[in-house]
Amino acid sequence: QSALTQPPSASGSPGQSVTISCTGTSSDVGGYNYVSWYQQHPGKAPKLMIYEVSKRPSGVPDRFSGSKSGNTASLTVSGLQAEDEADYYCSSYAGSNNFVFGTGTKVTVL
């Protein structure tokens, strides 16, 4: 199972929006509506931000939104804030209790 493809970096000024893509195949991203996104600050454990493509867990700001088209999922962070600077990873269910993560994207708030 190959890692999902994400851009290495993305950036935006405070208040702006940034969108991160996550490209897989019909065996993972395209085959299931089970794409999730995780935020990881340096030295910390990942935190669930989006699940089932576009659902937000309780406590996650509505500035975070997700979508999917075909084999590519996307995470958009609107109204960027300094605390949004982190690494972001997508993950997709790949059938038979298998999962695959994305390569990760470092988001910088300028």
Partner 1 sequence: QVQLVQSGAEVKKPGASVKVSCKASGYTFTSYGISWVRQAPGQGLEWMGWISAYNGDTNYAQKLQGRVTMTTDTSTSTAYMELRSLRSDDTAVYYCARYPRDYGDYHFDYWGQGTLVTVSS
Nearer to partner 1, 16 or 33 (CB): 33
Nearest to 88 by CA among 19, 31, 32: 19
| Cα distance between residue 82 and residue 110, in whole Å | 9
Residues that bind partner 1 (CB under 8 A): 1, 3, 32, 34, 36, 38, 40, 45-48, 51-52, 57, 89, 91, 93, 96-104
| Cα distance between residue 46 and residue 28, in whole Å | 21
Residue 67 Cβ vs partner 1, minimum distance, rounded to whole Å? 16
Residue 35 Cβ vs partner 1, minimum distance, rounded to whole Å? 9
